Homo-oligomer: A and B are copies of this chain.
């Protein structure tokens, strides 16, 4: 049971990107500093996209230039295309994420490209990364359900996982982009994917839209997956109902895995002040499902003898 599970914090990119408020480069670096300070060792630090399209991510090159020491931390940058790759490379990114939605309509509606075109772009970037010594991680988005095409067959996910694996992807991330997965489906998809890629290099990205994210993570970890995306405080959900529809909260994932005996390198209670710092930076009310309980425990620990003054 002393297995290690990696937590990949996506708050500074995926989380911030869907918020109304745009944080300065300095504030984003402060947020990253807090996360790294409590033991986060895998982190999506920004994206190299047009600042016109995504103003929240403007200045990602400056974020990368000023990141806290990266010897033990893997900082990833999201890139939409080869141009983004060049920008990320110039900014010193050594880990990059590409996104391949696995249905035709999602690609057409979302980025006005065909599924084939997107797959080719992603494959070319993965291959280029191999040449340059850059780790390119491939997200397979809407891997469980597409908002336009409905349920996705597990064999489709397997097919694209195989493409990305063959191209040399450093990691394959199965993403439940709209939070529609259930544990039975998670097992089916992972079983298919495991036929073409070892689950040690597979990660999962779950949203908590239907309240099942932790159950889906349990199903995945049972299958052998040892890395998960999460967002501090559930950042990235709907601003009117924090945590209700967005990314699963880092503190919830860490608490469950830690309780089960997995090593994450992160003390779940130490995430409490980080959530509060990120609340202050974003002006959002944050916190996963365990946050209330974690806060009580954290306060108890810090108000104990020797801390009271």
> Is A165 interfacial (CB-CB < 8 Å)?
no
Contact between A292 and B245 (Cβ–Cβ < 8 Å)? Answer: yes
Identify which of residues 148-183 in chain A touch chain B, using a CB-to-CB cut-off of 8 Å: 179, 182-183
Residues of chain B contacted by A245 (CB below 8 angstroms): 292-293
Contact between A292 and B241 (Cβ–Cβ < 8 Å)? Answer: yes
> Is A95 interfacial (CB-CB < 8 Å)?
no
> Is A112 interfacial (CB-CB < 8 Å)?
no
Contact between A208 and B292 (Cβ–Cβ < 8 Å)? Answer: no
- Chain B nearest CB: distance from A56 CB in Å? 24
Contact between A289 and B211 (Cβ–Cβ < 8 Å)? Answer: yes
Residues of chain B contacted by A185 (CB below 8 angstroms): 259-260
A214-B211, A218-B218 known; A182+B292 contact, CB < 8 A: no
> Is A288 interfacial (CB-CB < 8 Å)?
yes
Hey, what's the 0/1 contact readout for A238-281 against B, CB within 8 Å counting as 1?
10010011000000100110011100000000000000000000
- Chain B nearest CB: distance from A121 CB in Å? 32
Contact between A288 and B256 (Cβ–Cβ < 8 Å)? Answer: no
> Is A219 interfacial (CB-CB < 8 Å)?
yes
Q: In this complex, what residue of B is CB-closest to A256?
A: B212
Contact between A289 and B289 (Cβ–Cβ < 8 Å)? Answer: yes
> Is A89 interfacial (CB-CB < 8 Å)?
no
- Chain B nearest CB: distance from A112 CB in Å? 27
Q: In this complex, what residue of B is CB-closest to A210?
A: B290
Residue among A179, A210, A218, A255 with max Cβ neighbours from chain B (10 Å):
A210
Hey, what's the 0/1 contact readout for A205-245 against B, CB within 8 Å counting as 1?
00011111011011100000000000000000010010011
Offer 7 A-B interface pairs, CB within 8 angstroms, sorted by A: A183-B260, A185-B259, A208-B289, A210-B255, A212-B214, A214-B214, A214-B215
